[in-house]
Every structure is written in structure tokens, then in C-alpha cells.
Structure 1
Amino acid sequence: MMKEEIDSLVPGRDFSRRDFVQTTVGSGFAAAVLPVAAQTVTTDSVGLEAGSVSIPVGDFRMPAYRAQPAGRKDLPVILVASEIFGVHEHIADVCRRFAKLGYLAIAPELFVRHGNAGVYTDIPKLIAEVVGKASDAQVDGDLDATVAWAAANGGDVTRLGITGFCWGGRTTWSYTAHNPGVKAAVAWYGPVARPYFAGDKTVIDKAASIKAPVLGLYGAADTGIPVDTLTQLEAALKAAGNTACEFIVYPDTPHAFHADYRPSYRKAAAEDGWAKCVAWFRKNGVA
């Protein structure tokens, strides 16, 4: 069980218009997070090509949600790695936010081989039966295939970035260690001192392989990610010669502070983090 996922799931206000469970990739919300909160942000798809796509990974077809400006090519690419709940409406909305800024943003459903994360209401069971079975080796291969798909569908992968939240925040660090083609990354409250899949290395263990600039966005009141683990990672990165990474730790801020559909949302930190995320990609060649 990952404590920060459970801590951040205090019931929010009812918002019946959006109280539906995910049925296809990028639609609806995961059952574990219902009812969603009234402050949920919705980004329209006007001017975008947005929706589900299918990505070949060997003989397997992996679903993903993609958003990009309509009719445009040679777009910078942002991979979006989901939380433990899979690619539901919030992750799709993040993709649309990037697309409105001129990116091809794509969120692959990285848990799909192991089950439908969207239908679980029991968080420990979700982690044990689905999330904990997605190894770094599998995820790295799936993201490599996603990059290849983006390159063949309007993306310029010489301008490749990745961002993600919680499990996806850890994946952001891990994939940056795996793929030297990542130009820049932004990790939102991803654990760095423990893996989800038994046998995988921690992010701290992988620090020497992380060459790109990564911005880490964290909350000081996140009960599952002690600030001292971030200090350890920062020291390991610098010891390996990577001085381009930065950490921002928001005071009195919990886990999942960007998740506007949940009561853990903190508007000021989320908006500041988003502005810094976009600026980070632009500063580091993903624009």
C-alpha cells in the first residue's frame, strides 16, 4: 500500500455531472476517486485533434490518449505518465492543456496488460493487482513505443519531454534515466526512495543515469515522500555530475496537489507548478 495515495482520497464535494467511471481511455474518472470535486478543471478540444489512439508494442496494441493542434506537424512531444488510476479524464485534460500550447501530448495506458485501473475502488488491491505489476522494463518499452508512434504521427522527438504525477512522477525520473533522448522532464510528487514493482531500483539508485534537466515538484506535507529523500536524490544527481535538476517543495502542501478533481488540490501550488513546468520545457529545448 502506498500511503500517499490513500491519504489524498478524502471524499470531496459531489459533482454529479462528472460522476461517471472511466469506460474508454481518457474518458470519465476512476472509480476510486468518485465523487470528483467541484473545482475540476475542464479544457476543451477546440482546434485540437484529441482522442484515443492505438500504439503497437510488438504484437500488443496499447491504448493511449493523444492531443495535438489540428493540422500541424513537427510538434514538440510531451509524454504524460498517469497516477495509479490510469489514463482517465484528468490525465486527458492535462494532454489537452499541453496541446493548446502547441505540443503533441500523449498519455499511454501503461497498466492495461494487468487490468483496468479505472474500475478499482480498493486502493491497496489496485496497487497489488495492477500497479505493482508494471515493471520499469515494461514501462520503458511502452514509452519507447509511444515515442516511436509520436515520431510517425506529427511529432518531433528531438524535442522530447516527459511529465507525470505520483506513480507517473516516479516514472518520469525512471524513464529519463532510461532514454537519453529526453531533453527535459517534470516530475510531480513521484516517490524517489522506493519502487512500486518488486525488484526495480529506486530513483536514487538510478541517479547516475539521469542526464537531462529534471524539475521535481513536491509538497512538504506529503506524508509518503519525506523531504529528506529528495535531498538524497539531489545529492546523488550532483555527485553524478548532473547539476541541471531543480526541486521545488511547496510548504504545507500535501500529495496530489495538482489533482484538481480531488480534495488534495491546492490551487496556488498547482498553478505555480504548472507555470514552472511549462517554463522548464521551454527553457530546456522542448518547445
Structure 2
Amino acid sequence: MHEDMKSLNPAFSRRNFIGTALAATGFAMAAGPVHAEAITTDAMGLSVGPVMIGELPAYVARPAQAGALPTVLVVQEIFGVHEHIRDVCRRLAKLGYLAIAPELYVRQGDPSTIADIPTLLKTIVAKVPDRQVLTDLDAAAAWAGANGGDPHRLAITGFCWGGRISWLYAAHNPTLRAAVAWYGKLTGEATAMTPHHPLDLAAQLKAPVLGLYGGADQGISQDSIALMREAAKAAKVKTEIVVYPDAPHAFHADYRPSYREEAAKDGWNRLQAWLKDNMA
């Protein structure tokens, strides 16, 4: 069963409906041509659609039947909440989760209108403060808890930019039960927008984190992964980092040439087990 955003959120205006629907359609321009292996997950048996959380748009997918559902926050790549992220939400909903992907760049701009990655990074991504992102994720979690989600069973997963955010959120929210970070950057320069990185906060992790990384990732060094493994030992929760030796960055992104089927499928299986083990 499909639900449009008005049925998910009666206060949703027609203007917001059109704006959010257009922004969420298709894939981000900066991501390039869609790869032939892009996975499409149908919405049969699901309630799906955009919602508004105050001024924050989000895409939600959940099983159609009522009940207190375990919730997964899904955090976008640098390209925003495009069709691949929406599809990940539907995949999680098919597994019995309420999956919600907030549009975390909404105050800074629309990534779907930008045709190249350097411009996207400079004009939008670099202007998004971590504090804003964490607050918006808190709002998305609260919305889910009030709209069919079980507030006591909350998890997060994110990709690339969202992988880093997943680590940060695991150090931020004491009610979080599990996190799965896909190739999220672990170290970096401290700035006003990004004052801390996962390695800085390793000892403060409040939820178990599974990190999934590529050994051939040109942007994330194996040294930083080794440092994170060691630093996370000081946390009071378990962490695990899996490295796929031959996988590049974005190996789960089936709509891009970086996709590696074997690593992506193994990572997805590990995600399912991690969520099940920590959200029972």
C-alpha cells in the first residue's frame, strides 16, 4: 500500500509536497550516469512517501501494518536523499523497520541541481554544521517514535558522508541501540562546521558500531582505520570494523561504477545481523 505525504503528515502543504517530491526524484546530478546494476525495490506491502518534520523534509518507508516498529535513521551520501537512499529505506522496510531519511542539506541548498562534485562540496556540503545534522537526526528519531516507531529500538546507518555522521551520532545519542557506518571518514581537519571527527569521539560511543570499509578506498587510509579500531577499545560498547580488501569507496552504491556486488551483499547481510543482535 502506498501513502502520499499528506496521508503520512496531514499538515503537509501542496507547495511542500511539490518541492520535496521534485528534490527526491531520481539520482543526484553530481553522481553521474546511473549504473546498469542499480537495484530497485518495490513498495508492495509498504507505506512510503515524503513527510515534513517541522521544516525538515524526510522520506519514510515502513511496513503497512500497524505496530511499534524498530526504527533506522538512514543518512545520505554527499548527494542527498536521492533514489538510491530512498531504495535503501524500502529495503529496510521490507525487513520490518521504519526507515527514515531526513534531507539534511535542506537549509543549505538542493544537491540535485548541482552537476559536479567539487561545486557540491564547496557550495553545500562544506556549509552544513555537524550540530545541525545531529539535531535534525534527533528530530527525525522523535518523529518516528511518535508515528509508529518504537523509540526504544533506534538505529542509524549512513553512507560516505553519512557514514561519518553515523559514527558521530553513536557518540551523541544515548538512546541509540546500533549503528552501521559505510565507508565514513574517520579523521580530518577540525573546523567550525566539523569540530570533531569519529576518531576524536571513539571513547564516547554510546551504541555498538559496525564499520564497513574498502581496502582500495583512496580517501580513507588503512592507518586511520587501525587507529579507530584501537581508540574504540576505550568505549563501553562493542565496535567492529570490516575491510573488504579490493573494494573501493562507495562499494555499496549500486547505481555507480564503484559498486562491488560481493562486498555490498556481504555488508548488507552484516548490517541485518548487527541490527537484529543489538535491537532485540
Return the offset for 1:23.
5.7
Per-residue Cα deviation, 1:57-80 (whole angstroms, up to 9, x for no partner): xxxx11100000013220000000
Relative to structure 1, the CA distance from residue 66 to residue 130 in structure 2 (aligned partners, 3 Å threshold; closer, same or farther) is: same
Is 1:224 aligned to 2:219, yes or no? yes
- Measure, in 1, the Cα distance between the counterparts of 2:248 and 2:236: 28
For residues 1-287 of structure 1, what are the structure 2 equivalents within 5 Å?
Answer: 24-56=22-54, 61-194=55-188, 198-238=193-233, 240-242=234-236, 244-285=238-279
- Measure, in 2, the Cα distance between the counterparts of 1:27 and 1:48: 18
Using structure 2 for the length normalisation, give the TM-score: 0.90
- Measure, in 2, the Cα distance between the counterparts of 1:243 and 1:62: 31
Contact 1:25 1:64 in 2 (8 A): no
Residue identity opposite 1:86 in structure 2: G
The alignment of Structure 1 onto Structure 2 pairs a total of residues equal to 260
Contact 2:21 2:50 in 1 (8 A): no
Moved over 6 A (4+): none
Contact 2:190 2:196 in 1 (8 A): no
Aligned CA-pair RMSD:
1.5
Relative to structure 1, the CA distance from residue 196 to residue 51 in structure 2 (aligned partners, 3 Å threshold; closer, same or farther) is: farther
SS in 2 for 1:175: helix
Structure 2 unaligned spans of 5+: 1-19
Contact 1:213 1:244 in 2 (8 A): yes
Return the offset for 1:26.
3.5
- Measure, in 1, the Cα distance between the counterparts of 2:104 and 2:88: 17
More helix by share: 2
Contact 1:26 1:91 in 2 (8 A): no
Relative to structure 1, the CA distance from residue 156 to residue 25 in structure 2 (aligned partners, 3 Å threshold; closer, same or farther) is: farther
Residue identity opposite 1:158 in structure 2: H
- Measure, in 1, the Cα distance between the counterparts of 2:217 and 2:208: 23
- Measure, in 2, the Cα distance between the counterparts of 1:146 and 1:84: 19
Per-residue Cα deviation, 1:10-45 (whole angstroms, up to 9, x for no partner): xxxxxxxxxxxx963542111112310111000000
- Measure, in 2, the Cα distance between the counterparts of 1:231 and 1:214: 15
Q: Which has the higher contact order (CA 8 A, sep 6+)?
A: 1
Structure 1 unaligned spans of 5+: 1-21
Contact 2:23 2:112 in 1 (8 A): no
- Measure, in 2, the Cα distance between the counterparts of 1:241 and 1:113: 33
